[in-house]
Amino acid sequence: MGHAMRILLAGLLGAIAMYVWSTIAHVATPLATMGVSHLNNEQSVMDAVHTDLGDKSGFYLYPWSEDMSAEGMKAQQSKLDANGMGLIVYRAPGTASVSMVHPMIHEFISELVQALIAAWLVAQTVIVAYARRVLFVTAVGVAVGIGTNVSYHIWYGFPTDYTFANIVMQVVGYLAAGLVIAAMLRRNATA
């Protein structure tokens, strides 16, 4: 089997391992819902959001300010002190579904791309030991997990337990992929 084909196969099988872990994490563990809470008056909030946003799906941060002057920052701090802050990821009526088919397909494609990159990176190294190749892929997962999740924690106030759980899910996913990728892309001691 050619070198490129081995990388592709390692990436595909690594993605399957990552996807299986992701499914287990979301279905059989509390990791996926850690730090996520429900609204006490959900219907009134949904009505208010729908009234304000209508059919404009998107990502919203409030309170909003583009004024970075001293007065603008003072006004923004007053708003924050009085009202707090929040994020809304809004999908207008008719654009969301309880069906998991499309999100699961897109999730697998995302994990396939990640695993292919990890397989390609492993193929570029001269790491001989299996455990070190697994550790290499897992370290990539640590970087990925921290890269997004910690920034969301810092800038948007995502809860610590949510941040930790999502980092764990990423790292274990990369570990699962790494176990497969490292086995598929063996190095000879003379390579």
109 and 144 together in one domain: yes
Using an 8 Å Cβ cutoff, are 137 and 181 in contact?
A: yes
Mean pLDDT value across the chain = 93
165 and 132 together in one domain: yes
What pLDDT, on a 0 to 100 scale, did the predictor assign at position 189?
41
Using an 8 Å Cβ cutoff, are 145 and 167 in contact?
A: yes
174 and 143 together in one domain: yes
Q: Express each pLDDT in 33-70 by its tens digit.
A: 999 999 999 999 999 999 999 999 999 999 999 999 99
140 and 67 together in one domain: no
48 and 31 together in one domain: no
Locus of tokens 């996807």: 19
113 and 164 together in one domain: yes
In the structure, what pLDDT confidence band is assigned to residue 126 with cuts at 50, 70 and 90?
very high
**In this model, does residue 188 exceed pLDDT 50?**
no
**In this model, does residue 87 exceed pLDDT 50?**
yes
Which residue blocks in the chain are alpha helix, DSSP H? Answer: 3-28, 42-53, 70-83, 101-124, 130-156, 160-184
What pLDDT, on a 0 to 100 scale, did the predictor assign at position 116?
98
In the structure, what pLDDT confidence band is assigned to residue 187 with cuts at 50, 70 and 90?
low
Using an 8 Å Cβ cutoff, are 117 and 12 in contact?
A: no
Q: Domain containing 11: what range?
A: 3-36+97-184
CA torsion 177-183-185-191 (nearest 10°) is 140
Overall domain count for the chain: 2
